Amino acid sequence: MHGSAVHGSCMVPGIVYRACRRLSTEIVAEHAIVLRGSVSRALDCAQRNRNSAPQTTRLASMGWYREHVLPHLVQTSCSAAANRRQRQKLVPMAHGEVLEVGFGSGLNTPFYDESKVTKIWALEPSQAMRRMASPEVAQSGLEIEFLDLPGEEIPLDTSSVDTVLMTYTLCTIADTTAALSGIGRVLKPDGRLLFCEHGLSPDEDVRRWQNRLNPVWRKLAGGCQLNRDIPGLIKASGFQILTEERRYIEGPRPLCYNFMGTAGPQS
């Protein structure tokens, strides 16, 4: 869910406020996410103003939420211990020239094997997330260069990277077909796509909750989708799954069914 914009009607701030208050006690708190005091104060302010604010002000507040609140929600949720353990298993597999799609605040940076990686192209459209990533980038011994364009448009040469890394990103990208097609274009024929994503559960009762929560969660979490078939999307875009692990990680089940694995271009 890195770096994507919040879309919706002028009523989204009200929806976000109510959803955040409800989900922060029922789901977010269960997931051991501690929201910062500034975020809580911001939501209180949004509630006081939402009924009297004109449409233009409400639309502006959506942008304010996206810039000042959402990055902290993404940072705290994606840095949970269970997510870190998944990153720790996957990221060291990266080698050579790496494209990281949805670099976010740099949560993967400590897990790269510096002896195997020559450069990281950090694709992250959110300026707020890039600012949050600055300390990690500064402390790293890796060569990291940011790319400006959204994940669906990759400004790199064809067959130019050895590894593409995506962690908790494909759930948020609006046009997954275009994004994965772009990844396939820049990846070398013998390159590898490394992925770790949450998505559609195999259990019917959990899927029902994913489908119920998804409309509100999508607005609250910057476009993040709870119910995407991650392996299906990857295979439909011309990749073959080489290794794969599917399981629930620690946390509320609708949010925590994980897919982790590697894929390569179909031969």
Domains within the chain, CATH numbers bracketed: 12-78 (no CATH), 81-265 (3.40.50.150)
- Residue 90: CB atoms within 10 Å: 21
- Per-residue pLDDT, averaged over 245-255, amounts to 96
Q: What does the alpha-carbon distance between residue 84 and residue 217 come to, in Å, rounded to a whole number? A: 22
Grade residue 220 by pLDDT with cuts at 50, 70 and 90.
Answer: confident
Compare 236 and 25 and report the one with higher pLDDT: 236
**Residue 114 backbone dihedrals phi, psi, to 5 degrees:** -65, -20
Q: Dump pLDDT digits (tens) for 78-90.
A: 778 999 999 999 9
- Per-residue pLDDT, averaged over 190-195, amounts to 98
Cα separations in angstroms, 167 against 51, 79, 178, 198, 230: 38, 11, 18, 9, 12
Q: What does the alpha-carbon distance between residue 82 and residue 60 come to, in Å, rounded to a whole number? A: 35
* pLDDT for the residue numbered 69: 67
Residues 6+ apart with CB under 8 A from 187: 99, 159, 161, 164, 193, 265
Helix axes 12-23, 55-64, angle to 10 degrees: 50
State the chain's mean pLDDT as an integer.
81
Q: What does the alpha-carbon distance between residue 125 and residue 123 come to, in Å, rounded to a whole number? A: 7
Note the pTM of the prediction, 2 decimals: 0.77
Grade residue 13 by pLDDT with cuts at 50, 70 and 90.
Answer: very low
